[in-house]
Structure 1
Amino acid sequence: MSSQLFAPLTLGKTELKNRIVMAPMTRNRATNNVPNEMMAVYYGQRAEAGLIITEGTSPSPNGLGYPRIPGCFNAEQAAGWKLVTEAVHAKGGKIFLQIMHTGRVSHPDNLPAGGRVLAPSAVEMSQTLMYVDGKDQQSIPLPTPMTIGDITDAVAEYANCAQLAIDAGFDGVELHAANGYLLEQFLHPGSNKRDDQFGGNLENRLRFVRNVIEAVVARIGGDRVGIRVSPYGVFNETGAFDDVDATHVRLAEICNESGLVYLHVVDHEGMGAPPVPEEIKTKLRKTFKGILIQSGNYDAVKAGVDIEVGKGELVAFGRPFISNPDLVSRFRGARQLQLPEQETFYTPGPVGYIDYPVLPV
């Protein structure tokens, strides 16, 4: 196994002790959308990772589309997240908050009072259901198209969320522009049917994401901001489109212009999605000047090889971190991994969350 996997790396203002990233994973354990002590235990248990990226966290009451996901848009939520950052830092770890506005991937019953299901355009999600506590799976309603005022407010919400994250002790933030959530909804012509400055041609479809990037960078600095993308991803009714390569290469250029510290590329082939072509991964590698995070069905050996040959500087692991809090130690010792229990991925409570055992030292 390559020693590069365990080598330190400087990520903007943050010194990482290894190249292993804990990928963002929704776990649905927040209480009334507020992070809690159990979440602090969960993240603290996994602080061996060079970098932890949290589960998707909403910058707005309108972005809390799933049940029990956390927000970071008020003081109570920021105080809850401070429990998490303190637990991770106490064990020598580093942690970024993933900012995720669900946009049209939502149900009104999962939103607080006054929350709205917003999207670039009124495009139906016809193949996707949304779980609601006490009501099981529900059809997703037609979203409300965002006005220019809504867009302006949303940009400000991202910036405010980033500031609250830094105030809560996070080392940085990741903007979630992947998997069919709000930022990608603007990028994708299937969900963005606008005919104003935020829709139509490539530059217009990128405008909202650009505005969010620039606002967040202005607030906390580009060396504390990364972004996640999923070209060719099919999650939440997205999929390939005519200028998908050009869109993501141009987005990488915008990230360069704004000084973003990393680009995180998603490949869900291991979860049954179509493979992401190597061509677009190579284009993004050549275009983006910062740190590249690769993710998708990696094991320790493949991760080490891809770091050695320069495909990326960091590699993210998702489900292995759920069932192996000590994943880094297991990789280092070539020890067997525990398999996760999928039925407890999204259930409330500690079972399948903070009760996976670690190996004796």
Structure 2
Amino acid sequence: MVANALLRPISLGTIELNNRIGMSALTRSRSHSTYPTELMKEYYVQRADAGLIVSEGLLITRQGTEWPRAPGIWDEDHVEGWKSIVTAVHHAGGKMYAQLWHLGRLSHPDAPEQKLASVPVYGPSAIAARGGKFRHLPGTPGYVKPTSIDDPWVLVAQFKQAAVNAKQAGFDGVELHGGTGYLITQFLDNTSNKRTDQWGGSVENRSRFGLEVLKALVEVFGRDVAVKLSPTGGYNDVGMPLQETLETFTYFISEADKLCLSYIVLLRHSPRYDPVYEDGVHRATKHDVLESYGHLIKHAKVYINGDVTPGEGQKLVSEGKVDGIFIGLGYIAHPDLVKRIEHGMPLDNTADIEHFQTEEDDDDSSKGYTDYSTRF
């Protein structure tokens, strides 16, 4: 019997994982013109003993992101690049999901990829988010007022094609990025979605876009589809009053769970995702996401994310409150994270994490990426 509950194997969709410690999606800005590189392969293989690796967010279409060198998965060259990485992770004994990502209103028209796309910045409604810092654009341009999406079914089709591409690349499944203020959240949230058609207004209508995307992904991957949600909001200027938040996410999670997904990961409140804007008020709606929504998940596995320590994760799994945990920032500085947990050793590379993503980073930089010290 394995003493540490995090190290027990688990069935996830149609695959078996060696442990319950997931590496969450982390934007690391090392792709070359949106295409995966050999350095990225080294990075992921270093961490292949995670129960499940979720890739950094993969753009499903050209978008002007805040981060230069964010990777995509919309053409054949992307597929071939990711196939090389996934194959290497598999050879190292790991499993890997692709996180599918669309920024919606958080793109910028002056960013290089958005210019190449020759399309406007889209959102559910023509409402700009507050904030915004585009590291590769001069000054601090902030977010722009988006063009309201005319036909959301076009975006659903783009998500489905991205899933087809991910399957061709050999990923074990896909995770829909449904949190932290990006496109799925923008439809869910009544502060960013003021539509009066079938995609806005009621809880059911605001939930429609994310649920239709999940259905499209299930058509491609079957049970090997997951979704990441951040019900407390805050980050990227989203968030509703508590009662509206509870009603919206209770409905969405209940309906998503009927699709028999592999897992639903709940990102809990974290100060780093809770900005204060000009009104001086924290944007997030703080509440216990596990207590509020965990019991609604009957078919999928339940994962928790957001400053979860290994000790806390072990306790939550042992008590049956979650099936597994995702660790983000801790995985940056600790490629040997699973072995450290197995041997009861601390995650003590904390000082090094400050340089994980700097203004000087480029697609050839191993600094703060593949150069962290290990104990095993």
**Residue 41 of structure 1 corresponds to which residue in structure 2?**
42
Could you tell me whether the CA contact under 8 Å between 1:270 and 1:297 is conserved in 2?
no
**Residue 232 of structure 2 corresponds to which residue in structure 1?**
232
**Residue 89 of structure 1 corresponds to which residue in structure 2?**
90
* SS of equivalent to 1:264: strand
**Does residue 122 in structure 1 map to residue 122 in structure 2?**
no
Q: Distance in 1 between matches of 2:286 and 2:50?
A: 25
Q: Which runs of 5+ in 2 are unaligned?
A: 275-283
Could you tell me whether the CA contact under 8 Å between 1:66 and 1:106 is conserved in 2?
no
Q: 1:281 to 1:101 in 2, by over 3 A?
A: same
Q: Distance in 2 between matches of 1:283 and 1:2?
A: 29
TM (norm. structure 2) is: 0.90
**Residue 303 of structure 1 corresponds to which residue in structure 2?**
313
Please tell me the residue identity of whatever aligns with 1:311: K
Post-superposition CA distance 1:90-142 (Å, at most 9, x none): 1101110111101111112332332431100111223x123142525322221
Q: How far did residue 62 of structure 1 move?
A: 3.8
Q: Distance in 2 between matches of 1:257 and 1:303?
A: 26
Q: Distance in 2 between matches of 1:13 and 1:95?
A: 13
Q: How far did residue 219 of structure 1 move?
A: 2.0
Q: How far did residue 65 of structure 1 move?
A: 5.4
Q: Distance in 2 between matches of 1:91 and 1:136?
A: 43
Please tell me the residue identity of whatever aligns with 1:313: D
Q: Distance in 1 between matches of 2:146 and 2:71?
A: 21
| Runs of 4+ with >4 A deviation | none
| Map 1:32-111 → 2, pairs under 5 A | 32-62=33-63, 64=65, 66-110=67-111, 111=114
**Residue 342 of structure 1 corresponds to which residue in structure 2?**
354
Select which of 137, 141, 152 maps to 1:138. Answer: 141
Q: 1:231 to 1:163 in 2, by over 3 A?
A: same
Please tell me the residue identity of whatever aligns with 1:214: K
Q: Which runs of 5+ in 1 are unaligned?
A: none
TM (norm. structure 1) is: 0.94
**Residue 183 of structure 1 corresponds to which residue in structure 2?**
184
**Residue 200 of structure 1 corresponds to which residue in structure 2?**
201
Could you tell me whether the CA contact under 8 Å between 2:9 and 2:19 is conserved in 1?
yes
Q: How far did residue 162 of structure 1 move?
A: 0.7
| Map 1:284-295 → 2, pairs under 5 A | 284-289=293-298, 290-295=300-305
Q: How far did residue 270 of structure 1 move?
A: 5.3
Could you tell me whether the CA contact under 8 Å between 2:39 and 2:366 is conserved in 1?
yes
Q: How far did residue 235 of structure 1 move?
A: 0.4
Q: Distance in 1 between matches of 2:340 and 2:139?
A: 37
Please tell me the residue identity of whatever aligns with 1:163: V
**Does residue 281 in structure 1 map to residue 290 in structure 2?**
yes
Could you tell me whether the CA contact under 8 Å between 2:103 and 2:182 is conserved in 1?
yes
Q: 1:272 to 1:35 in 2, by over 3 A?
A: closer
**Residue 280 of structure 2 corresponds to which residue in structure 1?**
none
* SS of equivalent to 1:15: strand
Q: How far did residue 272 of structure 1 move?
A: 6.2
* SS of equivalent to 2:117: coil
Q: How far did residue 318 of structure 1 move?
A: 0.8
The alignment covers a number of residue pairs equal to 355
Q: Distance in 2 between matches of 1:154 and 1:199?
A: 16
| Map 1:9-24 → 2, pairs under 5 A | 9-24=10-25
Moved more, 261-270 or 95-104: 261-270
Post-superposition CA distance 1:58-98 (Å, at most 9, x none): 11124755321111111111111112101211110111011
Moved more, 349-358 or 177-186: 349-358
Could you tell me whether the CA contact under 8 Å between 2:64 and 2:110 is conserved in 1?
no
Please tell me the residue identity of whatever aligns with 1:119: G
Q: How far did residue 310 of structure 1 move?
A: 1.5
RMSD: 1.8
Could you tell me whether the CA contact under 8 Å between 2:23 and 2:50 is conserved in 1?
yes
**Residue 330 of structure 1 corresponds to which residue in structure 2?**
340
* SS of equivalent to 2:249: helix
Q: Distance in 2 between matches of 1:27 and 1:121?
A: 29
Q: How far did residue 276 of structure 1 move?
A: 4.4
Could you tell me whether the CA contact under 8 Å between 2:232 and 2:269 is conserved in 1?
no
Q: 1:142 to 1:165 in 2, by over 3 A?
A: same
**Residue 356 of structure 1 corresponds to which residue in structure 2?**
372
Select which of 113, 125, 133 maps to 2:117. Answer: 113
Post-superposition CA distance 1:316-355 (Å, at most 9, x none): 1111100000001111112232114323325322110111
Could you tell me whether the CA contact under 8 Å between 2:265 and 2:303 is conserved in 1?
yes
Q: How far did residue 256 of structure 1 move?
A: 2.1
Please tell me the residue identity of whatever aligns with 2:293: L
Q: Distance in 2 between matches of 1:132 and 1:175?
A: 25
